[in-house]
């Protein structure tokens, strides 16, 4: 290892350490092999952190390889999105990007080798018949009536498959293993099927495509993968992975290791279900901030460091489990609390008029974006100009018509409050509309209180955020709730669509300080006393500021159950 870890080594780290110490491997090569048929989700984030993290930890490399064996569902859009996700998380792959399709010629030749060795045959059973012949966990399978075709006939039929002389589903190439094997994946699995679809990398060169099980281990072998790390759903397929390595003349003999996948409550991570949300327009695309996709979390304002820290906190073990979403949210808040610049926005504005100031009064307060725990300015984040005038906006919730001990800030008539980064003011009175709603607070500015307490020692009872009315900029604010209101939305007999949270997106207007309008897209701010908000990755501009709610300042306990 290049650096000792703070926590105990997991079982994969121990294996790699032993393999390097014994000389079995001089260096390690891992791989991350997503299928480009959708956007990556939070479960993939853990797999990325594990595979790329192991390579970093032990001074090796991790390949990015696209498992592109199913052209009907794959698109270049997904290929690019996956690359962006890996880079955004802070990782770099070794060498050029790899594609399973890079190895189609070699895989085809290995299929021919299996036929010549009498270990593979072309089967004409329909999908329904093949399923019936396969049996189940209680009943052994039955040999296909085409299992004993001669080598010559199988070679001829496989060539006709390659040439496109058969319709899709008419036949497929299977390997002879054991139709009575307790492990269902060993019951003569298909290794080639006919798919007359244009491939995003190879075009129309092929109309037969290898199965994942056939292509995966052999691709690992070609690339010299030393530790093929995947999630537990592939554990039952490991004997088949090993069977192909043993029965083919491959350049290397990689080994597969499985760890528990990441499941988070209040979330679905099935690509099929995520696609249904997108295609059903329940959400606004794969990168909707309510989606558990990496691109959705990015647009929500989650930071790469917070996601990596969350994934690093999870056990790499041989069992599956479900993690409380609050655990991930803890790491989001922790990172943003330490690093997000602060700014002011008023979400529910109430005008305050300072009666002892001239109507044309204006001044500029220069304010750091962030202070450290000692109250010193964090100079690396810079500072901004905050305009101040005789008319301000504060949040409606910060003023009460009558004094109450339960009202924490105690800003009401006769009481004082400090403006964040500014002066102390005292409320003198207020105005109402015909419906009895307070529309304006009339107040007095206490002089010589910029950065210090009043000379009369009557201290303010709290601090409020504010915006100069003359300089306020209107912004669109998108507030998000959890997409699902059920902790296990796809569990049991439930239809996950029935577990959607009503009004999980609420769009409102807010008033922001001018500097926020010029914020760079994807910059996350703490709107003081409100929450964390990010300048939208695509829609935010100086002319039309758009901010997405990343997360509240503290956990919402009402969502805990």
The set of catalytic residues is 35, 261, 271
Element spanning 523, H or E: none
Question: Tokens 């609050």, residue?
Answer: 326
What is d(CA 177, CA 396) in angstroms, rounded to the nearest whole number?
73
> How many Cα atoms occupy the beta-carbon half-sphere of 226 within 13 Å?
21
What is d(CA 539, CA 132) in angstroms, rounded to the nearest whole number?
53
Q: Helices marked H in 301-441 — which ranges? A: 304-313, 325-339
Strands 342-343 and 321-323: unpaired
Please state, in angstroms and as integers, the Cα–Cα distance from residue 245 to each residue in 23, 176, 252, 507, following that order: 21, 15, 8, 55
Question: Tokens 């396969």, residue?
Answer: 134
Positive or negative torsion for Cα 159, 127, 178, 240? positive
24, with CB counted inside 10 A (0-12, 13-18, 19+), is exposed
Among 200, 189, 255, which Cα is nearest to 71's? 200
Positive or negative torsion for Cα 170, 172, 177, 181? negative
Do residues 27 and 1 make contact, with C-beta atoms less than 8 angstroms apart?
no
What is d(CA 217, CA 48) in angstroms, rounded to the nearest whole number?
19
């Amino acid at each position: 290892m290049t650096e000792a870890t703070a926590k105990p080594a997991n079982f994969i780290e121990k294996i790699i350490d032993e393999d390097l110490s014994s000389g079995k491997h001089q260096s390690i090569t891992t791989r991350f092999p997503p299928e480009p048929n959708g956007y990556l989700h939070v479960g993939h984030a853990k797999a990325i952190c594990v595979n790329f993290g192991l390579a970093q930890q032990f001074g090796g490399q991790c390949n990015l390889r696209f498992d592109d064996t199913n052209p009907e569902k794959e698109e270049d859009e997904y290929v690019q999105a996956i690359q962006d996700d890996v880079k955004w998380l802070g990782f770099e792959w070794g060498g050029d990007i790899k594609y399973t399709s890079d190895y189609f010629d070699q895989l085809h030749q290995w299929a021919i080798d299996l036929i010549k060795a009498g270990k593979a045959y072309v089967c004409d059973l329909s999908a329904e018949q093949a399923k019936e012949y396969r049996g189940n966990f209680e009943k052994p399978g039955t040999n296909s009536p085409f299992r004993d075709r001669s080598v010559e006939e199988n070679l001829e039929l496989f060539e006709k498959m390659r040439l496109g002389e058969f319709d899709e589903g008419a036949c497929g190439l299977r390997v002879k293993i054991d139709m009575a094997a307790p492990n269902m994946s060993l019951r003569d699995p298909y290794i080639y099927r006919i798919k007359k679809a244009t491939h995003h990398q190879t075009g129309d060169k092929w109309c037969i495509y290898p199965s994942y099980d056939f292509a995966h281990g052999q691709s690992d072998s070609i690339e010299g993968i030393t530790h093929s790390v995947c999630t537990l759903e592939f554990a039952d397929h490991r004997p088949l992975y090993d069977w192909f390595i043993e029965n083919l003349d491959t350049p290397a003999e990689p080994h597969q290791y499985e760890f528990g996948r990441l499941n988070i409550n209040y979330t679905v991570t099935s690509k099929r279900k995520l696609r249904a949300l997108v295609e059903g327009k329940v959400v606004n695309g794969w990168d909707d901030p309510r989606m558990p996709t990496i691109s959705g979390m990015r647009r929500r304002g989650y930071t790469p460091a917070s996601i990596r820290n969350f994934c690093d906190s999870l056990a790499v073990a041989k069992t599956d489990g479900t993690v409380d979403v609050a655990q991930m949210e803890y790491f989001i808040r922790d990172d943003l609390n330490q690093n997000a610049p602060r700014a002011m926005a008023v979400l529910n504005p109430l005008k305050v008029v300072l009666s002892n100031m001239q109507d044309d009064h204006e001044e500029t307060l220069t304010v750091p974006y962030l202070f450290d725990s000692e109250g010193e300015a964090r100079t690396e984040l810079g500072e901004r100009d905050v305009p101040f005038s005789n008319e301000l906006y504060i949040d409606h919730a910060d003023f009460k018509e009558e004094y109450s001990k339960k009202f924490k800030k105690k800003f009401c008539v006769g009481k004082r409050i400090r403006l964040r980064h500014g002066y102390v003011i005292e409320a003198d009175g207020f105005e109402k509309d015909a419906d009895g709603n307070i529309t304006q607070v009339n107040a007095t500015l206490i002089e010589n209180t910029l950065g210090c307490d009043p000379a009369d020692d009557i201290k303010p009872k709290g601090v409020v955020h504010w915006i100069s009315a003359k300089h306020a900029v209107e912004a669109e604010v998108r507030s998000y709730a959890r997409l699902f209101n059920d902790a296990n939305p796809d569990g049991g007999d439930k239809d996950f669509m029935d577990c959607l949270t009503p009004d999980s997106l609420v769009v409102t207007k807010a008033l922001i300080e001018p500097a926020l309008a010029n914020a760079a897209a994807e910059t996350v701010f703490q709107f003081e006393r409100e929450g964390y908000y990010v300048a939208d990755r695509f829609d935010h501009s100086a002319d039309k500021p758009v901010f997405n709610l990343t997360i509240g300042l503290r956990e919402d306990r009402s969502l805990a159950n």
